[in-house]
Amino acid sequence: MPRLGNTLPTGTSVADGRAAAVPATPAGAARPDSPVTGGPGTPANGWSPAGILSHGWARLLLGLILPAAVLAAWQLSTAAGLFSVVQLPPPAMVLDAGLDLIQRGQLGQHIAISTQRVLIGFAAGAALGLVLGSLVGLSRVADALLAPTIGALRAVPSLAWVPLLILWMKIGEDSKVTLILIGAFFPVFTTVSLALRHVDRNLVEAARAFGLKGVKLLTTVQLPAVVPAVFSGLRLALAQAWLFLVAAELIASSMGLGFLLTDSQNNGRTDRLLLAIVLLAVIGKITDALLGLAEKWAVKRWA
């Protein structure tokens, strides 16, 4: 009697007493899951856009392409005489303005005082937004009581607060930091309150079954469940804090990047004005990148 194995056609196997058809692979051909092919849509040499962008250096180089192109266009337009020096000074002139402020010992002070104001206002506004956002997101009574008023205040422009803050707090650091606090509060409040309303109810009920409630339930289950949303609000709040900084430093300020911006405009120093804009963009991006690193750590830790 011939063996069972001799009766099976090529490309089949026996599993649990039954013959299961397995597509035969031609000799020399790579399997679909082979590392050579890497799956559908992947070039034969294993390179793919997603694989390249997974490297930090590649993302950094790709992100520098547009700033380099803008800088080149800036230099070419000034060299061709499309703009006067007053309208758009060349990059070298802006760099010289920065070096001059460094030699005078002023640039570091402008950067330090503005960064301090932003960080203090952002921290206070984010903390307040987190507390009130959690309250509104978890309590229907608090939602009905607070949400309409906070929503109305959110529509008030930043400059509209300046005269009132001067009247209440006089000219000083308190009024400036408070204005930045207002700008940082609303993105965190809105994001957290909306995210907490959509937390999985089964997860919350399971936590309550284990005896968790109140603040313990919030910090152990509900906030960790919305970590990505919380950090989205924080990053929006940080950007808003830098935006409100310029308005805050309009309050009779004598130091800071916002003051440098307005003072340069009043004195016709376009080179310093552009320097202030570039510094605001660079420092804002650096602080956002640091918050992004904290987000990655928090997502791995809690989410």
Average pLDDT over residues 100-129: 95
Indicate the range of 13-17, 213-217, 275-279 predicted with least confidence: 13-17
Specify if 23 maps to a domain.
Answer: no
Specify if 9 maps to a domain.
Answer: no
Is residue 100's pLDDT more than 90?
yes
pLDDT at residue 97 in the model: 95
Structural domain harbouring 219: 104-301
Sign of CA dihedral 163, 165, 169, 173: negative
Specify if 230 maps to a domain.
Answer: yes
Specify if 96 maps to a domain.
Answer: no
Indicate the range of 44-58, 89-103, 214-228 predicted with least confidence: 44-58
CATH number at residue 245: 1.10.3720.10
- In the chain, the number of structural domains is 1
* Mean of all residue pLDDT scores within the chain: 82
pLDDT at residue 130 in the model: 94
Specify if 193 maps to a domain.
Answer: yes
Indicate the range of 25-39, 58-72, 83-97, 207-221 predicted with least confidence: 25-39
pLDDT tens digits for range 264-295: 989 999 999 999 999 999 999 999 999 999 99
pLDDT at residue 13 in the model: 40
pLDDT at residue 162 in the model: 86
Specify if 265 maps to a domain.
Answer: yes
List alpha helices for 4-64, DSSP H. 4-7, 49-53, 56-63
Nearest to 184 by CA among 135, 227, 124: 124
Largest Cα span, the chain: 105
Q: How confident is the model at residue 111 (pLDDT cuts 50, 70, 90)?
A: very high
Average pLDDT over residues 114-134: 95
| Better-predicted residue by pLDDT, 15 or 259 | 259
Q: How confident is the model at residue 180 (pLDDT cuts 50, 70, 90)?
A: very high
pLDDT at residue 5 in the model: 41
pLDDT at residue 6 in the model: 42
What are the CA-CA distances from residue 108 to residues 33, 101, 242, 281 (Å)?
55, 8, 17, 16
Is residue 125's pLDDT more than 90?
yes
Specify if 27 maps to a domain.
Answer: no
Q: Are 163 and 249 in contact (CB under 8 A)?
A: no
